[in-house]
Amino acid sequence: MSQIELGNITIDVEHKDIKNIHLSVYPPNGKVKISAPNRMNLDTIRVYAISKLQWIKKKQEQFKNQERETPREYISRESHYFLGKRYLLKVIGHNSHPKVILNHSEIVLYVRPNTPQEKRKEIVEEWYRVELKKIVPNLIEKWEKVIGVQSNEFGIKKMRTKWGTCSPEAKRIWLNLELAKKPVECIEYIIVHELVHLFERTHNDKFIRHMDDFMPKWRFHRDELNRLPFSHTDWKY
């Protein structure tokens, strides 16, 4: 991977077997990446990047000013989110296996007394993983029928820079664990996005047309997802 510098902006450049050049600015820190056809030289890519410089700066400023979650200590009365709704965490000490219970306004965490913060975090994150795995299969099945594709499997994992990824060869979809905190519509948008990648690898014009056909409001859901508070975690690329 190559890089070009425009003032204080570093742009990663990756050459691929594609027809058109693609520019992306990623949350949360505004990292810039260009995917370019193999035949395109760096001077041509630099000229293209300069033409998009104002747009790049605008997107970076949006990410810079976007709300961040405060650090989580996993203590009672702390705010946590599940499927787009805010809940208060309630920590209850008990001498048995840990568990998490969701009620109408609280996420109740049962743990042994003096369980350290990192362990409480692990328990809550595992609960998020289990809950997300409960709803994702039905959503994938729903959209596979609409799009006309078939995936082989999906997985949930922590990702630092993406909400989801897709391996077209293996027909495998990975979803970011953080999606468990987001509205279902946003989860569906990511699922549709990755399913479309099963037959269109890049974000070219054909990919956009497919997204418009299958989910006309995908841009709204994308923008909603990007407006929601980032995790406090300092993501790295």
Using one digit for the tens of pLDDT, what is the confidence trace for 22-59? 898 887 678 899 999 999 999 999 999 999 999 999 88
37 cis-preceded (ω within 30 degrees of 0): no
pLDDT of residue 202: 82
pLDDT by residue (tens digit) across 178-226?
Answer: 999 999 999 999 999 999 999 888 888 899 999 999 999 999 998 888 7
pLDDT by residue (tens digit) across 115-146?
Answer: 999 999 999 999 999 999 999 999 999 999 99
pLDDT of residue 236: 31
Angle between helices 117-147 and 205-214 (to 10 degrees): 90
Share above pLDDT 70 across residues of the chain, in percent, rounded to a whole number: 93
Whole-model pTM: value is: 0.74
Q: Which whole number is the average pLDDT over 220-234? A: 67
Those residues whose C-beta lies under 8 Å from the C-beta of residue 13, and which sit 6 or more positions away, are 1, 2, 3, 4, 33, 34, 36, 42, 45
- Give CATH 3.30.2010.10 domain extents, the chain: 79-227
Q: Which whole number is the average pLDDT over 138-157? A: 96
The fold for domain 79-227 equals Zincin-like (3.30.2010)
When comparing pLDDT for 29 and 154, which is higher? 154
Provide the sign of the torsion angle of the four alpha carbons 107, 110, 113, 116, taken in this order.
Answer: negative
State the Cα angle at 162 between 186 and 103, rounded to 5°. 45
pLDDT of residue 72: 85
